[in-house]
Amino acid sequence: MASLELSEMTWEEVRELDRSRTVAVLPVGAIEAHGPHLPLGTDVVIAQGMARVGAARLCAAGHLVVILPALPFTAAPFGAAFPGTLSIGPVNVRSVVLDLARELTRHGFAALAIANAHLDPTHWISLGGAVEIAEKEGLLPIAFPFLAQKRWAGRLTEEFQSGACHAGRFEGSIVLAERPELVRAETAAKLVPNPASLSAAIREGLQTFDEAGGPRAYFGAPAEATAQEGRATLEVLGQILEEAVTQALAARGPS
């Protein structure tokens, strides 16, 4: 059985769904500057791709899956100085995700999986805070793979592991695979690689793309992006999401 889109279902169809066996997948991204060649919604595109592939794998493993509408607004202070970036308060992000977890628990869903593609540390802390509170409240299990952790990052591309992976080859490849019409290909081809590592900048306490060495809001090698790499990366992201869900359900044990 294929995954379902919650927003396309009727309430009666949801009523008839065996929600005790159903995993809800929430794609989470941001509206944020991604260089002069990728759209502001790049993280949303990536999160939706991760959700789609992960949902397919979960369905193949015998789970029922519904994909929730993507959450596009979140904390994005690193890119806030760039026109078009819409950064909201981290407390609001935490509250929205936590309230969604409460609602899904009330409706009897088996688990919530967060397919996240936004790497701003303020955002990660917000999501982590929501998961922590949900655990204390005894809500449904939440699978939230933190891609920067070694256990997951080691399975992703060399550029991702370098930390120079914002609007570069890593993200550009996925957008080429999912929404190629959104990529400004001629512009991307002219961009010189920017090896500055965002992860290193974060460890040093820097707080903006400009401070981190990305005055045009990109890091990595945009001109090297390929749709082939993007499809391969999405498969890995889908595997990560599936494994995180399996682990979250196993940790909770039988209901």
Instruction: Give the tens place of pLDDT for each residue, 216-229.
Output: 999 999 999 999 99
119-151 pLDDT per residue, tens: 999 999 999 999 999 999 999 999 999 998 899
Record the pTM: 0.96
Quote the percentage of the chain above a pLDDT of 70: 99
- Whether 8 shows a pLDDT value over 90: the answer reads yes
Q: Which two tokens stand for residue 147?
A: 């891609």
**φ and ψ at 197, to 5 degrees?**
-95, 120
Indicate the domain borders of the chain: 4-252
- Whether 252 shows a pLDDT value over 80: the answer reads no
User: How confident is the model at residue 254, as a pLDDT?
Assistant: 59
Q: What is the mean pLDDT of residues 69-96?
A: 98
User: How confident is the model at residue 253, as a pLDDT?
Assistant: 67
Residue 147's CB is within 10 A of a number of other CB atoms, namely: 18
146-168 pLDDT per residue, tens: 998 899 999 999 999 999 999 99
Q: How far is CA 242 from CA 112, 185, 217, 239, in A?
A: 11, 32, 31, 5
User: How confident is the model at residue 169, as a pLDDT?
Assistant: 98
Quote the percentage of the chain above a pLDDT of 90: 96
Are the C-beta atoms of 70 and 7 separated by less than 8 Å?
Answer: no
Are the C-beta atoms of 118 and 43 separated by less than 8 Å?
Answer: yes
- Whether 184 shows a pLDDT value over 70: the answer reads yes
- DSSP track, 11-75: HHHHHHS-GGGEEEEEEE-----BTBTB-TTHHHHHHHHHHHHHHHHHHHTT-EEEEPPPB--B-
Alpha helices in 61-142 (DSSP H): 90-106, 121-137
User: How confident is the model at residue 72, as a pLDDT?
Assistant: 98
Q: How far apart are the first and last CA of the chain?
A: 23
Compute the distance between CA of residue 172 and CA of residue 170 in angstroms, rounded to an integer.
6
Give the architecture (CATH level 2) of 4-252: 3-Layer(aba) Sandwich (3.40)
Helix (H, G, I), strand (E, B) or coil at 7: helix
- Whether 207 shows a pLDDT value over 70: the answer reads yes
